[in-house]
Amino acid sequence: MSLTSFVRTPKRIYRLSQIAQVLARHGFGYLVYNLRLHTHLPLLNRIQDTAAKIVDVGDEALAKRIASVCQELGPTFVKLGQVLSTRPDLIPDSLIKELQSLQNDVKPFESSASREIIENDLKAPIDKLFLSFDDAPIACGSIGQVHKATLSNGNEVVVKVKRPGIGPVIMNDMGILSYIAEQAEKIEDFRIYRPSMIVNEFSRKIERELDFISEASSTARFFDIFSSNGKVKVPKVYWDYSTHNILTLERFEYLSFSDAHRFDEMEIDKKRLASDLATSFASQYFENSMFHADPHPGNLMVSESGSLAIIDFGMVGHVSEELRKQLGAAVVALVKHDLDLFVDIFLDLGLTPADCDLHALRLSIFEVIDKYYGMPLKNIDTTKAFSDIMSVAREHDMVLPRDFVLLAKSFVTVAGIAKELDPDFNFVDAVAPLAQNIFNVFRDKLSSENLSKSATSSAWHLTNLLRQAPKEIRHILRKIKGGDLQVVLKHKGLEPLITDLDKSSNRLALSIILAATLIGSSIIMMGQVGPLILDNVSVLGIVGYLLASVMGFSLVVAIFRSGRL
């Protein structure tokens, strides 16, 4: 995507200028120039920031500046920062900490707008849809806000309403972000962060958040999963009151885990609660095909009877069959103390660059494993261990699957919360039965019967390949013989050079024309070519000088806009 492919509306041009100015103001002039955004800066700023470089500051100071940029640029960039904070395999810990602190500091929109959206989508007046509807929102974010309500049958619910006009705003920013990511891929210092991959991942997430049906479907699926579990509750989705712009869910008047200090006064059995929490999430990781990917204390609740409730399924991860196999193999490797196998599984999980030193990577992983080897599992700081593993991934430019990273972060968060509830809690004891099931499944897959089936499948694919090969080879030879075989070469990364050469040639041509106009005008003035005014001053000569002045000024402006003198 190139910037010229955008519709050059005043709103889009203003937004590009705003992004460029915020980046430059926070000391990222070098980035603005390399992203080719400097032409959208005011002229004075372009001159001042031409030679700007990213100042060599500590990681913590740089992280604060990046977080400030996201906060200042508004909801889309705040959401982007939050997505970045879920990728510790790509982003250093200091930056993750700052990005996790980003808040959607937005004001609620008018309740009249909420009522209008609800009535338009549900085709009925508010008074007929609800016995009561609280105009004051209980929560507000960049995408929508939440209201308390009571259905006509007396059921207490929460109604999430999408913010009016938020879709076009975010989609406009997404187009700009795609362009910026494409440009960032050409900068060596930023290529290691996979900007295009991050923006693509963010685009999928934000599209999901903008469509409340996606969140409703995830919530309904978890409701079905835990419907037979008396220890865990998930809110029910009221489909007749939910659309792409509205999400209506069962309301829990429970205590949030954020108020864990009140658990003692409510006489809640924290040991049992820690066990229920760990078991419920372990079952998501090992038995179900999806899991809650954002289990922070605000999304976890407890009833007066001590029952666990899980809410907000806007961010979920998926466990594919392949990932499940890898997790099973990892469990087997740890049980058998086969560190070589565990390292191989970790290498299979991540994408390593072509120039990766696999020997050094294996040594780094072994160092992390050796650090915790022999330590009782209940004494291991899961957050620190996870950070160590992610540091290895970053150090060697590995890209781990998004769902694996989300699963690991979810696991670390849940283990930490369980540990706070019960300092003696041993996560391994809680998940041991499920881990044993994984071990049994993996063992069964290695049985002679399954190996025979696998061999049969592989033999069929090999036979099919051999059967098709002569036909494909003959087809290629016919193309070679007929001169129809084509080899397509596609260059990448040369677009800026081509653009600069094109601009340089245009400026050179303009300079030649400018010089010719000046010389011609001077000759006309000296020859007193008519018509003449003011004591034989040639009008054509004056016009030529004026034209040359305009061209000269345009050339100087173009040079200043390019940032090169």
Element (H, E) at 209: helix 195-210
Least confident range from 114-123, 148-157, 500-509: namely: 500-509
CA distances from 97 to 65, 385, 474 (A): 13, 16, 59
- Cα 97 to chain centroid distance, Å, stands at 16
Nearest to 219 by CA among 241, 234, 229, 240: 234
**Distance between CA atoms of 46 and 289, rounded to whole angstroms?**
52
Mean pLDDT rounded to a whole number for the chain: 78
User: What is the CATH code for 106-176+204-251?
Assistant: 3.30.200
Tokens 């605000």 — which residue?
Answer: 298
Q: Which amino acid is at 525?
A: M
**Distance between CA atoms of 317 and 303, rounded to whole angstroms?**
26
Q: What is the pLDDT of residues 239-270, one digit of tens each?
A: 999 999 999 999 998 998 888 888 888 888 88
Element (H, E) at 302: strand 300-302
Q: What is the pLDDT of residues 428-454, one digit of tens each?
A: 666 656 655 655 665 665 555 555 555
The structure's pTM equals: 0.70
- What 289-292 contacts at long range (C-beta under 8 Å, 24+ apart), as own/partner pairs, is 289/318, 289/319, 289/320, 290/218, 290/221, 290/222, 290/316, 290/317, 290/318, 290/319, 291/316, 291/317, 291/318, 291/319, 291/406, 291/407, 291/410, 292/222, 292/316, 292/410
**pLDDT surpasses 90 at 372:** no
Q: How confident is the model at residue 50 (pLDDT cuts 50, 70, 90)?
A: very low
- Cα 323 to chain centroid distance, Å, stands at 21
CA atoms in the 13 A half-sphere facing the CB of 527: 10
- Roughly what angle, to the nearest 10 degrees, separates helices 382-395 and 358-372? 170
Q: What is the pLDDT of residues 479-524, one digit of tens each?
A: 787 777 777 666 655 666 666 676 777 777 777 887 887 787 777 7
Q: What is the pLDDT of residues 5-38, one digit of tens each?
A: 445 566 777 888 888 888 888 888 777 777 777 6
